[in-house]
Chain A
Amino acid sequence: MKQVFARPKVLLETPMHYCPGCTHGIAHRLLAEVIDELDLRGRTVGVASVGCSVFMYNYFDLDFQQAAHGRAPAVATGIKRVLPDRIVFTYQGDGDLAAIGTAEIVHAANRGENITVIFINNAVYGMTGGQMAPTTLLGMRTTTTPFGRDARQAGYPIRVVELLNTLRGPAYLARVALTGPAHIHKAKKAIRRALQTQVDGLGFSLVEVLSTCPVTWGLQPLEAIHWLESNMLPAFPLGEFRTPDGPREAPPSPDGRRGEKVPAGTGGGPERV
């Protein structure tokens, strides 16, 4: 019988520790499929960051370094600079990349560091139990914004891809969402293009992956998918913002939304149950 579905070779047969409905598993699988397809096993070093995905090295048959909170782009820089012919990627959450690690990601991107960043944005701190992230939507309830994120007190959700898209350094910037077969298919294409950008030596690539965190959102897995679609997609527009063959300076975003203000109170966080 013809086999039509199998575990990617680079993904180990280790049960994952992620919560039911969490999309880390999908993101891991897409990354593993791309690594297989591009035949990168044997010359790839991953950098795991602090957050729920810190143990991702248990699931991949790859060399890994575990980085301090937010420092993965600096660690990846160190690896890539001394082993320029290896493929180096980081896998970082929104707290890691967009709060404590803001300087490291901005400067790695600005140097055009030839690494790939998989950036998981689920609008919340998952591992520490559901606190506000820099990407938490306005009005969204978290354990540290119990009355909803108020811009006057806690500022605005950071749109990382748009922020990095103001720099000349990056070669590939995209935002995707793990909300259904069509979006997941596009997500894989973006991850593949990001890693191909590095393989071709074209410079910094980053894919922002809108993801769910059903447990800290207080939602069932399917409700979480719907919540992401109706709340995160309007705040974080999808698409390829920068491609290696496109212009390198301040291009408009594909949907022309760049710079648009998110009105206070929109996004409305899930009620905690």
Chain B
Amino acid sequence: MERMLMKGNEAIAEAAVRAGVAAYFGYPITPQSELPEYMARELPGRGGVFLQAESEVAAINMVYGAAGAGARVMTSTSSPGVSLMQEGLSYLVGAELPCVVVNMVRGGPGLGNIAPAQGDYFQATRSAGHGDGRLLVLAPATIQEAADLTILAFDLAERYRNPVMILGDGILGQMMEPVTFPEPVARERDLSWATTGAGEGPRRLISSIYLEPESLERHNLHLQEKYRRMQQEARVEAYRMEDAAVAVAAFGLAARVARSAVDRARAKGIRAGLLRPITLYPFPTAAYAEAAGRVQVFLTVEMSAGQLVEDVRLAVEGRVPVRFYGRLGGVVPTPPEVLEQIERVAGEVGER
């Protein structure tokens, strides 16, 4: 299989093209503009549609239209753009339309900066715009994983008829690593719901309106049942967790830093491990709950003011302390900083 050196943004785009994406709609924003640029170059010659929208608002609604017409479709953006897409995401969830949305998170709030950050964790994992909706959220930590999760994202979106978000950051999008692309697996899609013009058959409707409260409640209960089924998609990576006393929880770029810090702690005789969520929603609650029975303390390392820490606390249900270390505004924590934090919490529980 061909091994290529690619930027994260381009690897995601290439993976999407190989996964058979039929249309890409997006609006330029740093630090993900290589992705629409790649699509603009590649898609027209490889059987797809590229269109630069007038805004993120328009882009996500173009995604809605194309998804409702049964096409494999995606968009990509960065934090402020995702804020603008919240309306469309809510309608996509309400109308049960599959699509993939890439968010290369940057520093916030407001215009913030273009440096890598993880401050959109709550926005991604807690809701899809207004209402009671959810996104599936995947958090790659390497370029290879970004490509693999992009292919998975389309499968999950179509399996659950729900938008899937790939949550990365500026560094993941910009850095280069070797990547291989798996052979695409052609899957039969059930499109019996899509609005394709009705043909000789009965008319179809893509909508999120349920005026009667009882009928909207039924629709919501159906969505909730779907979110319960999604729990089986939870994915986690355990690194040196077998005998760990200190478990570091981190995702994406922060997890790469944490991994180095765990190795340094081990070299100093501290039994540290890393439990990295690959899916942020559904959160791999079971893996954290199970680890809580074995470790003495958790430490979450984040590029935010502490968001993942809430999910870890919910998962361990107070059985062990959960500590937090984070850098803000696009500052990436360094391995020595994280090592110092591991030593701090290790001391707290008598592990060296």
Contact = CB atoms under 8 A, between A and B. Distances in A.
B57 interface: yes
B195 to A, nearest CB: 4
B49 A81 contact: yes
Interface of B: 22-23, 25, 49, 51, 53-55, 57-59, 61-71, 73, 87-88, 91, 95, 195-200, 203-209
Contact of B68 (A41, A60, A65, A103): A65
B54 A104 contact: yes
A104 B61 contact: yes
A68 B61 contact: yes
Given A41-B198, A78-B67, A81-B66, A65 B207 contact: yes
Contacts, number: 136
Interface in A63-115: 63-68, 71, 74-83, 86-87, 103-104, 106-107
A68 B87 contact: yes
Contacts of B55: 103
A82 B54 contact: no
Given A44-B198, A66-B206, A83-B71, 15 more contacts: A44-B197, A55-B209, A63-B197, A63-B205, A66-B205, A66-B209, A68-B61, A68-B64, A71-B58, A71-B64, A74-B58, A77-B62, A78-B62, A79-B65, A81-B66
A90 to B, nearest CB: 10
Contact of A74 (B65, B73, B204): B65
Interface residues of A, number: 36
Given A75-B65, A107-B58, A82 B73 contact: yes
A82 B66 contact: yes
A71 to B, nearest CB: 4
Nearest to A74: B61
A103 B49 contact: no
29 contacts: A41-B198, A43-B197, A43-B198, A43-B199, A45-B197, A61-B198, A63-B204, A64-B203, A65-B205, A65-B207, A66-B205, A66-B206, A66-B208, A66-B209, A68-B61, A68-B88, A71-B58, A74-B59, A78-B73, A79-B65, A81-B62, A82-B23, A82-B66, A82-B73, A83-B197, A103-B55, A104-B57, A104-B61, A107-B54
